[in-house]
């Protein structure tokens, strides 16, 4: 009798374990099935200039970013993401100082399982032996599937793009005073989360040398009902090459006190004074003190407006503003990593999540 009971318990336990395994398989395959939502891939293998993206590309990227964030919200999902591009290698070539963009790309690669190598200090490169920069980067491309480059020149990114084989993915992580397309993509995503259409957006600060504003205004130019305000002293106003490309309504002004009350998004920027001889007379004293947000003027803003900044900041946003619900620049910074994950995935055509 006891033997019989033990036998039945054993059978029961075996059944229980098998059921558990079965349920696990079914649930997991369901989860993975749900993950297999095809993302609409932009499939451009280069990210050089923000103007290369259509509105459809941008909305796809935002959608992909949302999906990636939701998958990454649990450890199972994170493990899965790490398998997606684990056979790829990336080279980060940063010839200009960077903390956020560098780390954000490094972490984005890491999330996708991409192994990275880096050159940040040119004194360790064979360029010091007289090798041309183009040759140096051609060499790196032999070891990497993706080159992520930040460079002080406005044009070198185009030279690289023209000279590397088509299957080498290239991302412009900032080219001189001209372009910073991935910053623009993450800024766009951040605005998208608050609603894109019919927004009044003010760019404030050094718009003459600020590459983030140049790149982002070209993206916002594709959105219905946008009105852009370029707010700065006239010496720091945005250049005509960007204005000439705008189809949306825009206004140039130096009256921040008026604009702060009217707009839905305020995009602050710092003085880009590391660029010398770029058309600004450094000896001229230009008063920039009124182009800042602080406890004296923040209450003039609309209640549902948001404040963005590509960072690093100086005194154009006071620290006390950080506590205000409209301050979204830290969130913007975090969004950067996820948008870059989405971008890299789509550049490799990794369309299944
Ligand atoms: N981090 C941004 C850039 O690299 C903004 C800045 O540096 O002011 O352009």
Read off the pLDDT of residues 96-109 as tens digits, 9 standing for 90 and up.
999 999 999 999 99
Verify whether residue 214 is a known catalytic residue. Answer: no
Domain identity same for 200 and 320: yes
Residue 340 lies in a domain: yes
Residue 59 lies in a domain: yes
Domain ranges, residue 55: 46-179+335-347
Peptide bond connecting 312 to the previous residue in cis, omega within 30 degrees of 0: yes
Question: How far, in Å, is the centroid of ligand 1 from the Cα of 249?
Answer: 26
Domain identity same for 108 and 153: yes
Domain identity same for 172 and 249: no
Domain identity same for 253 and 139: no
Question: How far, in Å, is the centroid of ligand 1 from the Cα of 310?
Answer: 6
Q: How many domains does the chain have?
A: 2
Per-residue pLDDT at 276 exceeds 90: no
Domain identity same for 247 and 294: yes
User: Tens of pLDDT along 199-244?
Assistant: 999 999 999 999 999 999 999 999 999 999 999 999 999 999 999 9
Domain identity same for 148 and 228: no
User: Tens of pLDDT along 159-206?
Assistant: 999 999 988 999 999 999 999 999 999 999 999 999 999 999 999 999
Verify whether residue 309 is a known catalytic residue. Answer: no
Verify whether residue 180 is a known catalytic residue. Answer: yes
Q: pTM of the entire structure?
A: 0.89
Active-site residue, from 88, 95, 150, 214: 150
CATH, residue 236:
3.40.50.1370
| Minimum CA distance residue for ligand 1 atom 4 | 174
Verify whether residue 270 is a known catalytic residue. Answer: no
Domain identity same for 62 and 136: yes
Contact indicator for 317, 84 with CB cutoff of 8 Å = no
Domain identity same for 224 and 313: yes
Active-site residue, from 33, 38, 128, 129: 129
Residue 10 lies in a domain: no
* Mean pLDDT of the chain, nearest integer: 91
Residue 80 lies in a domain: yes
């Amino acid at each position: 009798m006891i033997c019989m009971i033990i036998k039945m318990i054993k059978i029961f336990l075996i059944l229980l374990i098998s059921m558990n395994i079965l349920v696990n398989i079914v649930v997991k395959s369901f989860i993975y099935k749900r993950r297999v939502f095809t993302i609409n891939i932009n499939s451009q293998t280069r990210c050089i200039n923000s103007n290369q993206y259509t509105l459809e590309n941008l909305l796809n990227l935002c959608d992909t970013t949302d999906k990636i964030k939701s998958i990454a919200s649990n450890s199972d999902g994170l493990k899965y993401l790490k398998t997606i591009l684990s056979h790829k290698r990336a080279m980060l070539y940063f010839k200009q100082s960077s903390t956020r963009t560098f780390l954000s790309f490094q972490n984005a690669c890491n999330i996708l399982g991409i192994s990275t190598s880096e050159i940040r200090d040119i004194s360790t490169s064979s360029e010091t032996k007289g090798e041309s920069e183009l040759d140096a980067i051609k060499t790196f491309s032999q070891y990497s599937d993706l080159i992520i480059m930040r460079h002080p020149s406005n044009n070198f990114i185009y030279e690289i793009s023209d000279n590397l084989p088509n299957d080498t993915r290239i991302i412009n992580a900032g080219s001189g005073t001209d372009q910073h397309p991935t910053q623009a993509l993450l800024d766009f995503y951040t605005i998208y989360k608050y609603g894109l259409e019919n927004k009044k957006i003010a760019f404030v600060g050094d718009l003459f040398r600020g590459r983030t504003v140049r790149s982002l205004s070209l993206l916002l130019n594709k959105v219905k009902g946008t009105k852009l305000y370029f707010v700065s002293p006239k010496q720091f106003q945005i250049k005509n090459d960007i204005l000439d490309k705008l189809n949306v309504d825009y206004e140039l002004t130096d009256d921040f006190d008026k604009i702060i009350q009217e707009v839905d998004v305020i995009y602050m920027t710092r003085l880009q004074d590391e660029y010398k001889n770029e058309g600004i007379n450094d000896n001229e004293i230009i008063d920039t003190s009124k182009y800042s947000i602080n406890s004296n003027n923040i209450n003039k803003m609309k209640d549902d407006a948001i404040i963005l900044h590509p960072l690093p900041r100086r005194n154009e946003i006071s620290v006390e503003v950080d506590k205000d619900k409209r301050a979204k620049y830290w969130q913007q910074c975090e969004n950067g990593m996820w948008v870059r994950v989405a971008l890299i995935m789509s550049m490799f055509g990794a369309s299944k999540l």
